[in-house]
Amino acid sequence: MNAPFLPGSGFTDPVLGPQSLFRVLLDAMARPGMIYSAPETGVRGPDALPREALALLLALCDHDTPVWLDAGLRSTSVPRWLAFHASAPVTDEPARASFGVWRHDAATPQLASFAQGDARYPDRSTTLIVMCESFAGGDALTLEGPGIETRVSFAPRGLPAGFIEQVQDNHALYPCGLDFLLLAGGDLVGLPRSTRIIREAR
């Protein structure tokens, strides 16, 4: 017997909640590599995703923005929760996705299979929300590019296998390519397509 669907809750304040999250999101994308704390918004939902990931999906998605979920997430109640709160359709076709969610322990998709945008409309690409374990204790990475005065370094731990190499290839497609939001422990880091990632020698 299937467990009953539990709708959880949306934003406690449907105006100020998304606004506060958007401010943090914009700051994170404008200053790549800097760690920002996601605000508490009251969003509750399936345990398969942390609250800040659910809140981001509610703030960003609607009926016109297909969402790609990794295979494990598609078998949870997350698709039904998204439909209930945001009317957002879930797709298993990466090229159709406006947004995607990828957990660090899920199978690695090919980033080239997602929407890349084109020369006329580079913004018509997928933004991926990527789960990792923490923003410390992993491989040392150095970031360069717009929004970074010189260089920024951080060491995310538990990124999906092959993620950094694919993001380096993605940067070469600029101004096309994907944008990324990394989430860990209630914090987030922005990695826009314009950011160059250098893996430091061990």
Instruction: Concatenate the DSSP letters of all residues of 4-58 into one string.
Output: PP---B--SSTTHHHHHHHHHHHHHHHSTT--EEPPP---B--TTS-HHHHHHHH
Q: Is the pLDDT of residue 2 over 60?
A: no
Q: Which letter does DSSP use for residue 116 in this model?
A: B
Q: Is the pLDDT of residue 4 over 60?
A: yes
What would the mean pLDDT of 150-172 be, rounded to a whole number? 91
What are the pLDDT digits (tens) for 29-56?
999 999 999 999 999 999 999 999 999 9
Burial class (CB in 10 A: 0-12, 13-18, 19+), 153: exposed
Average pLDDT, the chain: 92
Contact in structure between 82 and 102 (CB atoms under 8 Å): no
For 154, the token pair is 């951080």
What are the pLDDT digits (tens) for 112-142?
999 999 989 999 999 999 999 999 999 899 9
Q: Which residue has the higher pLDDT, 119 or 191?
A: 191
**Confidence at residue 105, expressed as pLDDT on a 0 to 100 scale:** 79
Q: Is the pLDDT of residue 99 over 80?
A: yes
Q: Which letter does DSSP use for residue 96 in this model?
A: G
Considering the entire predicted model, what is its pTM? Answer: 0.93
Instruction: Report the SS3 class of residue 184.
Output: strand
- For 16-199, the fitting CATH number among 3.40.50.150, 3.40.1210.10, 3.10.20.30, 3.40.50.11310 is 3.40.50.11310
